[in-house]
């Protein structure tokens, strides 16, 4: 079972045809998505900072008891 061979010119035409089908986001959509990424990243960073600090206190207290 041989694969169909495509010439470089035909490949380029196919790529151009597929590129025309792409629906690009508007500037507003891009900015809003970027803002949401920054916001969610900040919220998650703060959450993990709080969880990490909580466990740090617990581990420090347990180590103090063991010493």
| pLDDT tens profile 24-37 | 999 999 999 999 99
CA-CA distance, 51 to 59, in Å (whole number)?
12
* Cβ–Cβ under 8 Å, residues 67 and 59: no
pTM: 0.64
CA-CA distance, 10 to 5, in Å (whole number)?
10
Which of 35, 59, 39 lies closest to 47 in space, CA to CA? 39
| pLDDT tens profile 3-52 | 678 899 999 999 999 999 999 999 999 999 999 999 999 999 999 999 99
pLDDT at 1: 57
pLDDT at 7: 93
């Amino acid at each position: 079972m041989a694969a169909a061979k495509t010439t470089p010119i035909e490949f380029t035409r196919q790529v151009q045809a597929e590129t025309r089908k792409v629906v690009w986001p508007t500037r507003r959509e891009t900015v809003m998505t970027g803002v949401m990424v920054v916001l969610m990243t900040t919220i998650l960073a703060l959450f993990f900072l709080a969880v990490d600090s909580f466990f740090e206190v617990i581990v420090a207290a347990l180590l103090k008891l063991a010493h």
